Chain A
């Protein structure tokens, strides 16, 4: 004999069914990708999820070549090595060393040699043989670039500030010695793989110096900006790339 279920039993069945159904549905998304979970809060979370942390907790070695421009007499050419440790994906501390084995005479100096050989021979030019800095770098801009519509690379723009020094040599007291100052600059990295990036950097070394000295006349030392443009390859260690949540 079949008994008619009471209201209480019916309610219990419905409640049990609801628990089973909702339990099953609640399990389903957990097997789905994290994207489904993230998508529920698109308007609240960070703009980039599962971000590739190319720099975080990594050591960066950056060999580079460069040139200082804007000088009156010569354009020194540099080879450099920058070492940075990235404390986070955005903040790094680093040391930058540049040496100049050669400098190109500018037009004014070549003209002076033609027009006034005596003054040219008496003129002692300051050679900035070495430039270095200890700096803090910050990368507030990260993104992607698409070249010619078919290849995509990750990029970042970083800024740095720190203490700097310059080693000058020349035939005169005013243009010889070590100068202390500061450095500010910015750079762009374009990652060609997980641990290799092309790097272009503009640094402004600010220190007090004189560019040249004529005979025994004392040259006037002044605070000047010395712009150094470098291009190089950043290599990151270790090679693995972390992914953010």
Chain B
């Protein structure tokens, strides 16, 4: 009987050593002695972010415009960044301009709506990230994302003169790897414009699709003694 006991203990020890490590981990986790923190897949701090962007104006029924441009931001931390944005809107009458609703209104009322078409916008952006998270797409893969708010200021050119403008934008971005990502953004450029009849606060709002290129292309995690990055 003692032989059976001895062999039992020996085999149990051997088998215990040969068990897959996750079983041991899971048991330890159950005791609450190990905390596992998954690192963020992309770190932005101290990296430049180039965002080529394409936008299409929305909200204004009588005019629509395509905007093509780019942003260059410096990420001071994971949550704050600042930089500049330039967007060009004047691609001729074939791309953008007055809409079918404009023609309908002129036909219905015999009165011509007043409008503003922008040539370009140039300005500075300050971006804050209040929220981040992850989601599962089609129950297949986990994707990390963050939400951001941008406040900015600059100038718009309306074809005649230059006007100061303020910018408010909200958006979401996700990264495919350590240096390439995608952004979807709603952006409103507000400027005081002189229409033939009166002065108005003119909104040029758009939805934007952009691609984020982080430079340098790679980064290193830093593990402090306390376990923080």
A residues with a Cβ closer than 8 A to B are: 5, 13-14, 16-18, 20-22, 24-25, 29, 32-33, 35-36, 39-40, 42, 46-48, 69-73, 106-108, 111-112, 114-116, 119, 123, 140-148, 152, 155, 157, 211-214, 217, 219-220, 222
Q: Which residues of B contact A140 (CB under 8 A)?
A: 137-138
Q: List B residues 67-94 near A (Cβ within 8 Å).
A: none
Q: Which residues of B contact A48 (CB under 8 A)?
A: 136, 139
The answer to whether residues A32 and B30 also contact, given A17-B7, A148-B130, A148-B131 and a CB cut-off of 8 A, is yes
User: Bound complex: CA of A70 vs CA of B23, how far in Å?
Assistant: 58
User: Bound complex: CA of A144 vs CA of B25, how far in Å?
Assistant: 25
Q: Which residues of A contact B147 (CB under 8 A)?
A: 145
Question: CB < 8 Å: which of B6, B15, B110, B136 contacts A141?
Answer: B136
Q: Which residues of B contact A157 (CB under 8 A)?
A: 135
Q: Which residues of A contact B192 (CB under 8 A)?
A: none
| A33/B105 in contact, CB under 8 A | no
Q: Which residues of B contact A46 (CB under 8 A)?
A: 139
Q: Specify which of B12, B59, B100, B134 lies most central, judged by the most chain A CB atoms within 10 Å of its CB.
A: B12
| A17/B8 in contact, CB under 8 A | yes
| A21/B11 in contact, CB under 8 A | yes
| B23/A39 in contact, CB under 8 A | yes
Q: Specify which of B7, B16, B145 lies most central, judged by the most chain A CB atoms within 10 Å of its CB.
A: B7
Q: List B residues 132-150 near A (Cβ within 8 Å).
A: 132-143, 145, 147
User: Bound complex: CA of A157 vs CA of B9, how far in Å?
Assistant: 54
Q: Which residues of B contact A211 (CB under 8 A)?
A: 101, 104-105, 108
In the A-B complex, list the 3 residue pairs whose CB atoms are closest, starting with the nearest. Answer: A143-B135, A17-B7, A36-B26
Question: CB < 8 Å: which of A25, A112, A144 contacts B134?
Answer: A144
B residues with a Cβ closer than 8 A to A are: 3-12, 15-16, 19-20, 22-23, 25-27, 29-30, 58-59, 61-62, 100-101, 104-105, 107-111, 113-114, 130-143, 145, 147, 197, 200
Number of A-B contacts (CB under 8 A): 144
User: Bound complex: CA of A161 vs CA of B59, how far in Å?
Assistant: 22
Q: Which residues of B contact A155 (CB under 8 A)?
A: 133, 135
Q: Which residues of B contact A115 (CB under 8 A)?
A: 111, 197
Q: Which residues of A contact B140 (CB under 8 A)?
A: 47
| B12/A21 in contact, CB under 8 A | yes
| B22/A40 in contact, CB under 8 A | yes
In the complex, what residue of chain B is closest to A9 when comparing beta carbons?
B3
| A29/B23 in contact, CB under 8 A | yes
A–B Cβ pairs within 8 angstroms, 29 of them: A13-B3, A13-B4, A13-B7, A17-B4, A20-B4, A21-B8, A21-B11, A21-B15, A25-B16, A35-B30, A47-B140, A47-B141, A70-B59, A72-B62, A106-B61, A108-B113, A111-B197, A123-B109, A140-B137, A140-B138, A141-B135, A144-B134, A155-B135, A211-B101, A213-B108, A214-B109, A214-B110, A217-B108, A222-B104
User: Bound complex: CA of A148 vs CA of B133, how far in Å?
Assistant: 11
User: A29: shortest Cβ distance to chain B, in Å?
Assistant: 6
| B135/A108 in contact, CB under 8 A | no
Q: Which residues of A contact B113 (CB under 8 A)?
A: 108, 111
User: A156: shortest Cβ distance to chain B, in Å?
Assistant: 8
| A146/B132 in contact, CB under 8 A | yes
Question: CB < 8 Å: which of B8, B19, B114 contacts A111?
Answer: B114
User: A231: shortest Cβ distance to chain B, in Å?
Assistant: 14
User: Bound complex: CA of A148 vs CA of B132, how far in Å?
Assistant: 8
